[in-house]
Amino acid sequence: MGEQSMKILIAGCGIGGLAAALSLYEAGFRDLSLVEAAPAVRPYGAGVNLQPNAVRELAALGLYEEIAARSATIGRLGYHNHLGQTVWHERRGLAAGHRHPQLAVHRGELLTVLAEAVTRRLGPGAIRTDAKVTGFERAGEGRLRVRLAHRRGGTAKEGVTGSTTGAGLLIGADGIRSAVRATLYPREGAPPASGTVVWRGITRVRPFLGGDSMVVMGDGRWKVVVYPLAGTPGTDGLVPVNWAASRAAAPGEPVDGATRPVPRSAFAPHFDTWALGDLRLREVLAGPDPVVQFPLIDRDPLPRWSFGRVTLLGDSAHAMAPMGSNATTQAIVDARALAHALARDPDAGRDPERALLAYDRERRPAMNRLALMSRAKGPEAVIDLACERAPDGFGRIGEVIDRSELVALTRSYARAGHFDARAANLPSPYSTRASAPAPAAAPAPGVVPA
Ligand SMILES: Cc1cc2nc3c(=O)[nH]c(=O)nc-3n(C[C@H](O)[C@H](O)[C@H](O)COP(=O)(O)OP(=O)(O)OC[C@H]3O[C@@H](n4cnc5c(N)ncnc54)[C@H](O)[C@@H]3O)c2cc1C
């Protein structure tokens, strides 16, 4: 398709919003702008995983090499009890026959690569920071009036002021506390608390378990997830390792829903004796105080994402509990699916409603299913099952959980997220390539261009 003139406004410059901008640009849309509530697109956060279907889509956007150079390739995933016994183990990405790898990357590094690509391709004025979407209304003649709040003079001290901007399409990529979602669903309220609190960080340690392993260990209430963020150690022989520890409240225990700094002693001692091969949790969880504790939250599935000229994407549409390492993956796939739906509808540049409904129909049922599976702990449920049936450990896992049950719990999740090899090895279903494509990166070994 050729160039499209509809003015598109994207609320939020997280991974989802930036991926949407790049995908829409590739599809021929040129009047694109992004607004970000934060004063800058800053590289916040810790590690995120990109499943092979998201890596395929990033390769289609010409960003594979840049991202892979900043990532660790994950080749193995293990679920273990607190004694280090293996409940489930599988190969991942290229090692499992995928055409694209599973990558683990610092969220900030990924954000930086995407934001730089947006600035390069769309121009330096495409992203406006310090501008928060607060709502929108229909303005007639197929346009929306989007309300913004921004800090006068760029400092909080000088107070918040308001303005509006027009748009022919508004994409709410504004995260789990989305203002666009709240406008569409004004009675929904805050995300429901799960009763689990999470601490997360990055520590430099010696590479463990071959250097490409993601490890999840749990005892039924406490859990820790560990994976590397670099494939090769630095000159100090260490690699950055992402960790997330969590604790589920006991039945009837009051839930601590606050995000606040706590001393490491609030959680780290519980893991002091946990180990797996050459991985020592005591070393991984060591470091300075404080550590931010935050509640694990998600969102209830929605009956609809697209309303007229407005739609939702990523966490604003389907924030899910981080159980299968695929929130970022699904935000990227949403972005690609949305751009594709708009590109293939010849009327979308004038009236995007039909295309937005097609995107909603394609992505929402699968994401709602995945969000509910994640709330039920997704594939990590196998650890709780093992701990429940054998709290003091087991001889052979087959005596505790039947292999067919393990396979069902782990494989069904990958299938629901479309990152099982059968689905993820297909060529990208979302290629639009309208415009002169961005300079394509040479495919890396094992990676087939989408
Ligand atoms: C600061 C931060 C740190 C994170 N760290 C991690 C991590 O370490 N590990 C992990 O697995 N996941 C992390 N996440 C979540 C993860 O990034 C998402 O689950 C996933 O990438 C999907 O992203 P998204 O773009 O849909 O939403 P998000 O990543 O939440 O991005 C939403 C963006 O919208 C902006 N925004 C919010 N409200 C408005 C508004 N009203 N108007 C304009 N802009 C708005 C936010 O500032 C943010 O930049 C983090 C999210 C954030 C915001």
pLDDT digits (tens, 9 = 90+) for 56-89: 999 999 999 999 999 999 999 999 999 999 999 9
Protein residue closest via CA to atom 3 of ligand 1: 45
| Residue at a domain's end among 357, 378, 399 | 378
Radius of gyration of the chain (CA): 22
Q: Is the same domain home to 33 and 150?
A: yes
Reference 9, options 119, 128, 153; nearest CA is 128
The answer, yes or no, to whether any atom of ligand 1 lies below 6 A from the CB of 37, is yes
pLDDT confidence of residue 3: 64
Protein residue closest via CA to atom 27 of ligand 1: 175
The answer, yes or no, to whether any atom of ligand 1 lies below 6 A from the CB of 331, is yes
pLDDT confidence of residue 447: 41
How many other C-beta atoms can be found within 10 angstroms of the C-beta atom of residue 108?
17
- Is 68 within a domain? no
The 3-state DSSP class for residue 263 equals coil
DSSP character for 29?
Answer: B
The answer, yes or no, to whether any atom of ligand 1 lies below 6 A from the CB of 11, is yes
The pLDDT of residue 182 is above 90: yes
The answer, yes or no, to whether any atom of ligand 1 lies below 6 A from the CB of 104, is no
pLDDT tens by residue, 232-243: 999 999 999 999
Which has more pLDDT, 142 or 177?
A: 177
| Domain that includes residue 132, residue range | 8-46+107-190+301-378
- Is 436 within a domain? no
Instruction: Using the mean position of ligand 1's atoms as its centre, give its distance from the Cα of residue 284 in Å.
Output: 25
The answer, yes or no, to whether any atom of ligand 1 lies below 6 A from the CB of 327, is yes
The pLDDT of residue 448 is above 50: no
- 431 burial (CB, 10 Å; 0-12 / 13-18 / 19+) is middle
The pLDDT of residue 152 is above 80: no
The distance in angstroms from the start CA to the end CA of the chain is 19
Q: Are 16 and 171 in contact (CB under 8 A)?
A: no
The answer, yes or no, to whether any atom of ligand 1 lies below 6 A from the CB of 43, is no
The answer, yes or no, to whether any atom of ligand 1 lies below 6 A from the CB of 247, is no
pLDDT confidence of residue 256: 75
Residue 178 CA, closest ligand 1 atom number: 38
| Residue at a domain's end among 341, 361, 378 | 378
Protein residue closest via CA to atom 52 of ligand 1: 45
Q: Is the same domain home to 211 and 136?
A: no
The pLDDT of residue 384 is above 90: yes
pLDDT confidence of residue 434: 52
The pLDDT of residue 449 is above 50: no
Regarding beta strands 275-276 and 279-280, do their DSSP bridges make them parallel or antiparallel, or are they unpaired?
A: antiparallel
For residue 107, give the H/E element and its range.
helix 107-122
Token match 């494989």: residue? 411
Q: Is the same domain home to 41 and 147?
A: yes
SS3 helix, strand, coil % of the chain, rounded to 5?
35, 25, 40
Q: Are 173 and 319 in contact (CB under 8 A)?
A: no
The answer, yes or no, to whether any atom of ligand 1 lies below 6 A from the CB of 314, is yes
Cis peptide bond N-terminal to 290, omega within 30: yes
- Is 374 within a domain? yes
| Residue at a domain's end among 330, 358, 378 | 378
The answer, yes or no, to whether any atom of ligand 1 lies below 6 A from the CB of 130, is no
The answer, yes or no, to whether any atom of ligand 1 lies below 6 A from the CB of 324, is no
- 224 pLDDT band (50/70/90 cuts)? very high
Token match 């499943």: residue? 51
CATH number of 277's domain: 3.30.9.30
Q: Is the same domain home to 171 and 266?
A: no
- Is 275 within a domain? yes
Instruction: Using the mean position of ligand 1's atoms as its centre, give its distance from the Cα of residue 407 in Å.
Output: 32
Residue-averaged pLDDT of the chain: 90
The answer, yes or no, to whether any atom of ligand 1 lies below 6 A from the CB of 45, is yes
Pocket probe mutation, ligand 1, options 23, 33, 107, max atoms within 8 Å of Cβ: 107
Between CA 196 and CA 379 the distance in angstroms is 17
Instruction: Using the mean position of ligand 1's atoms as its centre, give its distance from the Cα of residue 43 in Å.
Output: 11
The answer, yes or no, to whether any atom of ligand 1 lies below 6 A from the CB of 231, is no
Number of domains in the chain: 2
- Which residues face 167 on adjacent strands? 144
- Is 410 within a domain? no
The pLDDT of residue 446 is above 60: no
The pLDDT of residue 444 is above 60: no
Protein residue closest via CA to atom 30 of ligand 1: 175
pLDDT confidence of residue 450: 36
Q: Are 276 and 301 in contact (CB under 8 A)?
A: no
- Is 437 within a domain? no
pLDDT confidence of residue 215: 98
Q: What's the residue count for the chain?
A: 450
